[in-house]
Structure 1
Amino acid sequence: MIPDFSIRPLHDLGPVLTLNTAHAAETSHLDEAALRALIDQAFLATAVTGPEGLAAFLIALDQDARYASPNFRWFQARYPRFVYVDRIVTAPAQRGRGLARALYEDLFARADAAGHGRIACEVNRVPPNPGSDAFHAALGFTEVGSAAIHDGAKTVRYLLRETAR
């Protein structure tokens, strides 16, 4: 891990809600009840913390989750077994330190150990998110589909990465 930072289970909801709200255009808005529901059924919910507190977090669900997200359901309809990254957010002041990569590498190892061969996620096409596109491509994700959601207000690219399994 990066010096002065550690990956831990996600417990402190206040900072997560604040960071998520600041990036709701890229992820989606969550209130405390929705965040708690995600964490309660998560395959993995982790945070990177450092000297200044929360630096990044990741929430991922497996195929058995009960989640109404159209993006999650797209994968659920097509793949019998997978881990879906619902959201990963890094605080702007902490970007470029490899924290999101560390969260993903931790997820890859845990998913592989649990017998999951696929990691799934989506990235916005409209509105565009070129930083996320480049990041996911560098991690080996490839596009497997796309969709217009929320009555066409958003278009997403569906990405998949095979684990080492």
Structure 2
Amino acid sequence: MSFSIRPVNAADHARILALNLESEEMLSPMDASRLRELDAMAAYHRVACEGNEVVAFLLAFREGVAYDSPNYVWFAQRYPRFLYVDRIVVARTHQGRKLGPLLYRDLFDFARAAGVDTVTCEFYTVPPNEASRRFHAAFGFSEVGSQWVADGRKQVSLQIAAT
């Protein structure tokens, strides 16, 4: 079956929360209230669907929003225009089926159409997230910094890519 990408709607929120929980060891926790808050600030919040089933999502922000993530703030202090990938999640049952690349190609198309030439993201290096490192390298991301987060329990690699 083929996959489609569409904007998130409120009916998707329960599934997005379930997907986020499934991968929470590599993400920030998110409850329904936080999801509504992030969705309202998002420049890009889309889902990948197989038929009517949401099987992946990507949430990203432009510069200038009141997002309190230390990683978003790091980029906001250094880059005047950017699109920040807050999180991308693919259902465990659908990993390896090219949904991450499908969403990232759509995201980069969105950024170019909006005149944004820099996409930013981060991934954990402590604990290591080798799959994310390889994935982002394939999209041309490179490290521009690093920082400790989660009260010094985790380290992230701060990354940028040109659109």
**TM-score, normalised to structure 2's length?**
0.96
**For residues 13 and 25 of structure 2, what CA distance do their matches in structure 1 show?**
19
**1:52 Cα shift?**
6.7
**For residues 160 and 109 of structure 2, what CA distance do their matches in structure 1 show?**
16
The one-letter amino acid paired with 1:105 is R
The one-letter amino acid paired with 1:27 is L
**For residues 25 and 44 of structure 2, what CA distance do their matches in structure 1 show?**
23
Q: Within 5 A, what are the aligned runs for 1:81-92?
A: 81-92=81-92
Partner SS state of residue 131, structure 1:
helix
Give the counterpart of 1:8 among 6, 9, 12: 6
> What residue is the counterpart of 2:161 in the other structure?
161
Q: Within 5 A, what are the aligned runs for 1:49-68?
A: 49-51=49-51, 53-68=53-68
> What residue is the counterpart of 1:30 in the other structure?
30
The one-letter amino acid paired with 2:8 is L
**For residues 37 and 102 of structure 2, what CA distance do their matches in structure 1 show?**
24
**For residues 51 and 117 of structure 1, what CA distance do their matches in structure 2 show?**
32
The one-letter amino acid paired with 2:4 is S
**For residues 30 and 101 of structure 2, what CA distance do their matches in structure 1 show?**
23
The one-letter amino acid paired with 2:124 is N
**1:10 Cα shift?**
1.2
Percent identity (aligned): 44
**1:122 Cα shift?**
0.2
* Structure 1 stretches of 4+ moved >2 Å: none
Number of corresponding residues: 161
**For residues 144 and 65 of structure 1, what CA distance do their matches in structure 2 show?**
21
**1:150 Cα shift?**
2.0
**For residues 54 and 129 of structure 2, what CA distance do their matches in structure 1 show?**
23
What root-mean-square deviation, in Å, do the aligned CA atoms of Structure 1 and Structure 2 show? 1.0
Q: Within 5 A, what are the aligned runs for 1:1-165?
A: 3-11=1-9, 12-51=12-51, 53-163=53-163
Partner SS state of residue 78, structure 1:
coil
Partner SS state of residue 137, structure 2:
helix
**For residues 88 and 40 of structure 1, what CA distance do their matches in structure 2 show?**
17
**For residues 76 and 123 of structure 2, what CA distance do their matches in structure 1 show?**
17
**1:71 Cα shift?**
0.4
